[in-house]
Amino acid sequence: MQQRTWNVLLTMLLACRLAGQTFSENNFVRYTTAEGMSHNTVTAIKQDSIGYIWAATASGLNRFNGTRFVQFHSSSDSLSVAAEDMNGMTWLDAHRLAVFTSGLHIVDTRTGATRNIFIPYHDKR
């Protein structure tokens, strides 16, 4: 038992001497509406298989290619984003991104095809 105690103390002593990587604001780029984002409040970020960054915001969906943003907004088109205010995102599989709005907006990141799924409130199933 005493050997175990010494091992724990030695490990803790050595761990105290370790230093982690420091973060500096100079190492980050801040993107805002001035750079082409649809809103400064981002609710979720995902990266797809070819490197695009997808950002759900309080005012639309944004896709970033490393240089510029493409914005996706709600419109009269039934395949557009259902609402401007995005609550989050998740991957359904390797290429289909689901965005949480007033329904579920699904984007196939390979083809660009979209669809919406709405669950009526009166139908509790």
Calpha distance 95→102 (Å, rounded): 22
**What rounded mean pLDDT belongs to the chain?**
86
Q: Is 59 exposed, middle or buried (0-12, 13-18, 19+ CB in 10 A)?
A: middle
Calpha distance 28→92 (Å, rounded): 29
Low-confidence residues of the chain: pLDDT under 50 = none
pLDDT value of residue 35: 95
Model's pTM, two decimal places?
0.73
β-pairing verdict for 42-47 and 88-91:
unpaired
pLDDT value of residue 22: 74
| Tally: H helices and E strands in the chain | 1, 8
pLDDT value of residue 6: 80
Q: Do 104 and 91 meet the contact criterion of CB atoms below 8 Å apart?
A: no
pLDDT tens readout for residues 79-115: 888 888 889 999 999 999 999 988 889 999 999 899 9
pLDDT value of residue 80: 86
